[in-house]
Amino acid sequence: MAGTGEGKKEEADYKRLHSFPLIRNTGAAGVPLPPSHTDMPEEMRVETMELCVTACEKFATNNESAAKMIKESMDKKFGSSWHVVIGEGFGFEVTHEVKNLLYMFFGGSLAVCVWKCS
């Protein structure tokens, strides 16, 4: 918010800076977050995150294809049924199996929500 008045130079800056995948979960700094953020086990989370990054980079312009790719890969790796939402702005309320949710931001403007509910 602070950077709104600073002009476009900073905007370019933040686009470069904000390209890394950012998983929304209980932060390392101990900031109390809602209990049901990303709750996957470490190994699974890393794998899923890499998969999301790969998919989003591969289908940079087509979120639907990216979501489809993520969903299918997840179904194969961790069993059905996975659901994926990718978008720049959306609201949702989902029921997911515990320890099977990943909510992350990527590329500065994308939000990816992956969860399992069979």
Partner 1 sequence: MPNNAAASMRKGSTVQKVILPGAKSTKAANKKKDEDEGVDAADGWDEWTHGKALIKPPDQLELTEAGLKEEITRILTANNPHAPQNIVRYSFKERSYKPTSAVDQMAVHFVLEGSLLHQDSDEACRLRAKEGLPEETATVDTGAEPDEEKPETLATLVEDGGEVEEAGEEDRPDSAASKTDRKEPKVTNQFNFSERASQTLNNPLRERSCQTEPPPRSIFTATATQWEIYDAYVEELQKQEKNKEKQKASKKDNDKSKKKTMLMETQTDDITKVVKASKIFERMVNQNTFDDIAQDFKYFEDASDEFRDQEGTLLPLWKFQYDKAKRLSVTALCWNKKYQDLFAVGMGSYDFSKQGRGMLVYYSLKNSAFPEYIYPTHSGVLCLDIHEQHSYLVAVGFYDGCVAVYKLKEKGFEPMYKSSAKTGKHTDPVWQVRWQNDDMDNNHNFYSVSSDGRVVSWTLVKNELVFTDIIRLSLNGAVSEGPEQQPGIAYGTSFDFHKQIDYLFLVGTEEGKIHKCSKTYSSQFLETYDAHSMAVDAIKWNHFHPKVFISCSSDWTVKIWDHTINTPLFTFDLNAAVGDVSWSPYSSTVFAAVTTDGTVHVFDLSINKYEAICQQLVVAKKTKLTHIEFNPIYPIIIVGDDRGYVSSLKLSPNLRKKPKGKKGQEQPKGPDMEVAKMEKLLSLLREPEHSTV
- Residue pointed to by tokens 């977050």: 33
Rule CB under 8 A: say whether 101 interacts with partner 1. yes
Question: x-or-dash pattern for partner 1, window 38-77, by CB under 8 A?
Answer: ----------------------------------------
What is the C-alpha to C-alpha distance for residues 42 and 48, in angstroms, rounded to an integer? 10
Instruction: Candidates 44-52, 53-61, 64-72, 94-102: pick the segment binding partner 1 (CB under 8 A).
Output: 94-102
Strand partners, 113: 85, 103
Sign of CA pseudo-dihedral 44, 77, 85, 88: positive
What is the C-alpha to C-alpha distance for residues 97 and 79, in angstroms, rounded to an integer? 12
Among 40, 71, 84, 115, binds partner 1 (CB under 8 A): 115
- Binding footprint of partner 1 on the chain (CB under 8 A): 1, 14, 17-18, 22, 24, 27-29, 35-37, 87-98, 101, 103, 105, 108-111, 113, 115, 117
